[in-house]
Structure 1
Amino acid sequence: MGVATAPSGPTAESVRTGPDRVHWLRAARETADDLATDAVAREQAGKTPFDEVSRLREAGLFTLLVPAEAGGGGADWPTAYAVVREISAADGAIGQLLGCHYFLSWSARFLTEFTPAARAERPSVADQLCWGGGFARQELPLTLARKADGYVLDGRQSYATGLLVADRLAVRAERVDTGEPFAVVVDPAHHGVRIDGDTDTFGQRLAAGGSVEFDAVPVSADNVVGSLSVDEDVLSPSAALTSPVGRLLSVQILLGMAEGVLAEAREYSRAGHSPWHPAWPVGSPQDPQVLAVYGELIVLARSASALTEQAVEAVHGGLARGEDLSYDEYAEISVLVTMAEAAASRAAQESTARVLDIVGARSASSRLGFDRFWRNARTHTLYEPVAHRLRDVGDHFLNGAHPPFVLPV
């Protein structure tokens, strides 16, 4: 088809002193197992996930991407992606919360020089801070006005992940004088910041989403961490990788949901009855129709997973290229991530919906909690639709067009 593979060039990483990938995957698996034990009850209660954030913090997962020499975990993006996927299989909302934290807390390294980025990381490591917010474009943008000693932030962001539990907010705001968009870091405890838990979604209810209003909030120059302009004179190919890096987190969340619901349905089918309702038998595990549906869903999930692994390799290679990355190489990477998004979206929606048919009328029981997978996946895909992005894939394949710079919601 002529679409991207990983860009050629060096992929060797500098020597790390932090824990290895095996350690982080073990920590993620243990945390996911812990979250899975009460996932149904927690999701139905819909409380602000302070306890879940504590579980992530205790596992050390918040500082996974911070360089080891700065006191963090020293892990790479492929490891972070695997961790988010593992958590999402147990609880898609908490996977979204963690993925958002990784994207926002690390964004300074894509968008600014090392020294300001390192300054921002120090308190994050020391206090295991949780980051929330988002850089997606809004119809009514936040505004950033220049003042003698810095800037003033005003406006309202209607939805952002993690707001209700965040220790730091990272948001998109436009300069009043130039219209250029910037990434801005704000302490939510600052006077003039008002957070509302007014997002009444039917899924991803534990992602701590809400709206935030900024009323003349002072922002220092150091906390305006970088431009989000799509102008190629401003946005280098390496900085543009912010888009596929963030969107690939969404892919991992969706794949985790698909794998989580299939694993839970398999245990239900093998048991032959509901652990909550022993008198409710399930269909025979040898039922040809049941086997065919499972087979089809596994093919969808594994196909999306294989495409995602190609995208992860491409993004990792692009990050290793650094300033040597070209715009054409960036476009290839972005298109491959878009294809992974489309495949993961379909796998998650099909799996979470059709598993209900496999289980049958018993899946309507709130005690079983199968509906949470469908509600979470559907909510996530509504916020991160991919249908229009398929046009970008076609335009790139047919006309060689570069896809637009799009940040995840």
Structure 2
Amino acid sequence: MSTPRRSTKRTAIRTASARAGRPVDRPADDEIWPRVTRELADDLAVDALARDRAGKAPFDEVARLQEAGLPALLTAPGPTRRGADWRAACAVVREISAADSSVGELLAHHYALSWSSSFFGLAGQGADDDSVPAPSLGVRAAEERWLLAGGVEPPRAGSGPGLVLTPADGPGGGWILDGRRAFASGVTVADRLVVGARPGGTGDLLVVLVDPAHPGVFTDAGPERVGQRLAGAGTVAFERVPVEPGQVLGVLPHDEHTVAPFSTLAPLALRLLLVQVGLGIAEGALAEARDISRAGQAGPVRGDHAGGPSVTDGAAPAVTGDDPYLLLAYGELATAAHAAAAVVERATDALVRGLRAEWSLGLEERADIAVLVAAAETVTGRAAVHITTRVLELVDGTAGDDARGGGPGFDRFWRNARALTAPTQAAHRLRDIGDHYLNGTHARLTLQA
């Protein structure tokens, strides 16, 4: 049943994508990217549950993204490209995630990594003004239709040396990359990997571009995840992989006192994009539950121990759309989603201002951005888990069979929210927010997410 609909959607996507790639001397159409995104989200929603249960590597999902042209969305405008800004990128990730959060996470990591040349390159840091800069990674990725994956953050204390670079022999220079590390998204299907490694395991961090098709690169998808199953997570081993000088995208000094505040927006940009994924999960779950409740299929609701609505064991008949407890439940959940969205919008506005400031960004401005992103993470993470948990109760009359292959599959929203938010230490974020609010303390200028 899904095949004809998918084919119809893809035709629309191809048409809109072709318009998005038209020359820039024609009038702008602000509806292009929202329309492309909406059409792709509808396409992904058709078979999201079936793909989640199949748990295959997301090659088909990446093909759909590329067909829609979304990986090139953040690319600077050119003769055949129409770029968009970070607000548009965040909106795209959020809407795609409402349909399939694994695909949203793939796109989030790609967008953050596509700006590696901007965050870590030598432009604005004393480079020779007469030099001709190489095309940015984002431009190259758009031209070559690459999906980027990886991670540039250094290893955490006690986790080993991470990835190590040693000087290559021969007149051409360059490096040899060795090591092994796990990545949260995209490495099983990526066209290029962007990773951070240290020469000799110490000192400044170099950000390098690696072709995963090289025979010295080994990718292991690892065990099946509880949630975000189609995000392409895995572990990558590098064994004597050559890195040419042109594959070095930039550098991050080891000494935090010499790090430019703009460079340290990189982890904040990724964190905010992943917040958009979490918000999309919550909104997608709530919208699907609403559709079922409107159809009169929701399970019976009563007051729980905290005074809010809860679901019984299904002995009573299904409730209708004017049931006061059902209305109370949706009022509570919609309010939680609206509150999270408001906090996320404020953090997005702050990040966009910081990105526009580029190398003139100051410490105070960077600290304010970090606090707002941390607040967005905390509020949205809690809302996503709460909403997806309560939605399971609201649709209990039809979703109780999920584990055995029946029902509308609402368990995937809860699993995805849990998998996405588990790595975030909410207590640490709240402590940093409190320290900044009470004492005016700045967070350290590091690449750690």
Give the 3 Å change call, closer, same or farther, for CA 205–406 of structure 1 in structure 2: farther
Larger deviation: 110-119 or 220-229?
Answer: 110-119
Query: Within 2, Cα distance between the matches of 1:333 and 1:28?
Result: 27
Find out whether 1:91 has 2:93 as its counterpart: no
Deviation at 1:406, TM superposition (A): 5.8
Q: Secondary structure at the match of 1:154?
A: strand
Which residue is equivalent to 2:145? 128
TM-score in terms of structure 1 length: 0.89
Query: Within 2, Cα distance between the matches of 1:77 and 1:256?
Result: 16
Match of 2:336 among 300, 319, 323: 300
Match of 1:359 among 395, 403, 406: 395
Deviation at 1:284, TM superposition (A): 2.1
Which residue is equivalent to 2:197? 173
Deviation at 1:361, TM superposition (A): 4.9
Find out whether 1:243 has 2:252 as its counterpart: no
Deviation at 1:176, TM superposition (A): 1.1
Q: How many residues align?
A: 389
Residue identity over aligned pairs, in percent, reads 47
Contact 2:219 2:236 in 1 (8 A): yes
Find out whether 1:323 has 2:359 as its counterpart: yes
Q: Secondary structure at the match of 1:298?
A: helix
Deviation at 1:177, TM superposition (A): 6.2
Q: Secondary structure at the match of 1:155?
A: strand
Query: Within 1, Cα distance between the matches of 2:243 and 2:93?
Result: 31
Query: Within 1, Cα distance between the matches of 2:25 and 2:364?
Result: 34
Which residue is equivalent to 1:341? 377
Give the 3 Å change call, closer, same or farther, for CA 17–322 of structure 1 in structure 2: farther
Query: Within 2, Cα distance between the matches of 1:281 and 1:55?
Result: 42
Contact 1:88 1:260 in 2 (8 A): yes
Give the 3 Å change call, closer, same or farther, for CA 72–134 of structure 1 in structure 2: farther
Match of 2:91 among 82, 87, 91: 82
Q: Which has the larger radius of gyration?
A: 2
Contact 2:278 2:380 in 1 (8 A): yes
The residue identity in structure 2 corresponding to 1:362 is T
Contact 1:109 1:117 in 2 (8 A): no
Once the two structures are superposed, residues 206-239 of structure 1 have per-residue CA deviations (whole angstroms, 9 ceiling, x without a partner) of 0011110000111122222223446344321122
Give the 3 Å change call, closer, same or farther, for CA 206–282 of structure 1 in structure 2: farther
Contact 1:84 1:95 in 2 (8 A): yes
Q: Secondary structure at the match of 1:200?
A: coil
Deviation at 1:358, TM superposition (A): 1.2
Deviation at 1:71, TM superposition (A): 4.3
The residue identity in structure 2 corresponding to 1:237 is P
What's the Cα RMSD here? 2.1
Give the 3 Å change call, closer, same or farther, for CA 408–74 of structure 1 in structure 2: farther
Which residue is equivalent to 1:54? 63
Which residue is equivalent to 1:395? 435
Give the 3 Å change call, closer, same or farther, for CA 361–263 of structure 1 in structure 2: same
Deviation at 1:407, TM superposition (A): 4.9
Find out whether 1:145 has 2:134 as its counterpart: no
Query: Within 1, Cα distance between the matches of 2:140 and 2:116?
Result: 15
Contact 2:116 2:137 in 1 (8 A): no
Match of 2:295 among 257, 271, 275: 271
Contact 1:17 1:69 in 2 (8 A): no
Match of 2:114 among 94, 98, 105: 105
Once the two structures are superposed, residues 157-189 of structure 1 have per-residue CA deviations (whole angstroms, 9 ceiling, x without a partner) of 123310111000011212216432232210001
Once the two structures are superposed, residues 321-373 of structure 1 have per-residue CA deviations (whole angstroms, 9 ceiling, x without a partner) of 22222111110111111101111101111111111111125322223110000
Match of 2:233 among 203, 209, 221: 209
Query: Within 2, Cα distance between the matches of 1:314 and 1:122?
Result: 25
Give the 3 Å change call, closer, same or farther, for CA 375–408 of structure 1 in structure 2: farther
The residue identity in structure 2 corresponding to 1:186 is V
Which residue is equivalent to 1:375? 415
Larger deviation: 309-318 or 129-138?
Answer: 129-138
Find out whether 1:404 has 2:425 as its counterpart: no
TM-score in terms of structure 2 length: 0.82
5+ residue gaps, structure 2 = 1-23, 124-131, 299-315
Greater relative contact order, per chain length (Cα 8 Å cut-off, separation 6+): 1
Larger deviation: 224-233 or 346-355?
Answer: 224-233
Query: Within 1, Cα distance between the matches of 2:25 and 2:344?
Result: 28
Query: Within 2, Cα distance between the matches of 1:228 and 1:370?
Result: 42
Larger deviation: 181-190 or 35-44?
Answer: 181-190
Once the two structures are superposed, residues 302-337 of structure 1 have per-residue CA deviations (whole angstroms, 9 ceiling, x without a partner) of 111111111111111111222222111110111111
Give the 3 Å change call, closer, same or farther, for CA 131–361 of structure 1 in structure 2: same
Which residue is equivalent to 2:32? 23
